[in-house]
Amino acid sequence: MNKHTLILFIFIFIFIISNSVSSFSSNDLIGVAPQDEVYYKELWSSGGSVKCRDGSKSFTKARLNDDFCDCFDGTDEPGTSACPTGKFYCRNAGHSPRIVFSSRINDGICDCCDGSDEYDGKTNCKNTCWEAGKVARDAFKEKIATYQQGVAIRKHEIEEAKISAAKDEAELSKLKSEEKVLKGIVEQLKEHKEQIEKALEKERIQKEKEEKQKKEAEESKLKERNGEDKVDEPVKSDDDKAEILDNSPAGQDLKQHAESALEVVHNGHGSLDNGEEHSVKEEDTSEVAHVSDPDTGLGSKGEEANQKDDAGMSTADFQFLHTTYGTLMRQRTWPEKEFYSLYGQCFESKQNKYVYKVCPFKQATQEEGYSTTRLGNWKNFEESYNVMLFSNGDNCWNGPDRSLKVRLRCGLKVEVADVNEPSRCEYAATLTTPALCLEGKLKELKDELEVLDKQQPQIHDEL
């Protein structure tokens, strides 16, 4: 083989390859979505064929868009109206793609803004995609601007969240170290209180015993006096003896003794009353004396009570702070602590007569006047932190418990919007937040806009 023959052979080979490649063009795949082009590439291989999507038959390149329906699902006729169930894809470069029924292909009406559905040339369709897509592109550019600002805000909030998280972690660590001290103080106070109660109980029993002995002594003395009077008294069996007794000196003595006895009884009761009052005073004095024991080092009873109250408040504060910081620390699974600042905040949206309140990591409610309905308690994130889920809300009458699904969107402020009830007792809402303004998404939007700006002039020139 000489040199010229070899060059000719290479040229023919390149021509065949280029012709084969060029034959795989958008004109051959008219009506096919870009993501589906790969499905048809086997048709351009040697003796290639493709199965219908429903698996019923196979077809070759010659049968693609030949205006005869080989596949019941229209796989072989994406660009003709031969199959009743076929769908045509409008690329609409510079605007939004669109899918129309294949029955609208070459029907004399421009359904696609790029005119691709009327490719037989019988109807002149002007490409209006660039004009029609101006509003969409402007909104697209505004979305990109929002993302750009949102990304900056998000970065700033993440830095602040990291600082706050570090402080909270340090505070939690401090609280944990103080927990043992607080519990120790509480235990000491409890032990001291038990000692005081035992001492007071012992003193009370002693006082009761003394009072009882005192009372028995007085009663015994009174009985002795009454007994002496009865021994000296003559026995009287009739009225005359009684009258004589009354007028006798002995009778007079008996009266005097009786009056004395009554006075003693009265004085006895008085002394008992004074004794009880005195006992109470002594008990109070003794109580203070017990609490003021210098060996305990805990001061008077009043001081002990104050310390106990202080310890109780400290314990309560500890529990509150421990719960708060502990909850925050459990959220460290967030990718970059981007939701840290939402903790402890609530966001409202008024719609008609209702006020909807969403409190991330706590609960969501619906308020009407003085009435409040729980739409759910915080459950978790879903869909890669794109959805907040609240569940186990107030029960619907003859229905399920209420629930709320909040879909997150990129926004410069945290705001609740679009609250609705797509299903009975199942609510949905949107929450805008800089936390969802991601750099990766911003790059995707910029790339899409760049593609739109490049495609339209090219298609415009062709028309």
pLDDT of residue 172: 79
- CATH number of the 344-440 domain: 2.70.130.10
Domain boundaries, the chain: 21-127, 161-318, 344-440
At 361 the pLDDT is 93
Which runs of E-coded beta strand occur in 290-414? 347-351, 354-359, 363-368, 371-382, 387-391, 403-410
Burial of 121 (0-12, 13-18, 19+ CB in 10 A): exposed
pLDDT in tens, the chain (463 residues): 555 565 555 656 555 544 444 455 556 688 999 888 888 887 777 567 888 988 888 898 888 899 999 998 999 999 999 999 899 999 888 888 999 999 999 999 999 999 999 999 899 999 988 888 888 888 889 999 999 999 999 999 999 988 888 888 888 788 877 777 777 788 888 888 888 888 888 888 989 888 888 888 888 888 888 765 554 444 444 454 444 444 444 444 444 444 444 444 344 444 334 443 433 333 343 333 333 343 333 343 444 444 444 444 455 555 555 555 555 555 545 678 889 889 889 999 999 899 999 999 999 999 999 999 999 999 999 999 999 999 999 999 888 999 999 999 999 999 999 999 999 999 999 999 999 999 999 999 999 888 877 766 454 444 3
DSSP string, 132-169: HTHHHHHHHHHHHHHHHHHHHHHHHHHHHHHHHHHHHH
pTM of the model: 0.54
Q: Note the pLDDT of residue 259.
A: 47
Would you give the end-to-end CA distance of the chain in angstroms? 48
- Cα four-point dihedral sign 220, 226, 231, 237: negative
Between CA 87 and CA 53 the distance in angstroms is 13
The answer to whether the beta carbons of residues 410 and 434 sit under 8 Å apart is yes
pLDDT number for residue 281: 38
pLDDT of residue 319: 59
Report d(CA 463, CA 458) in Å as an integer.
Answer: 9
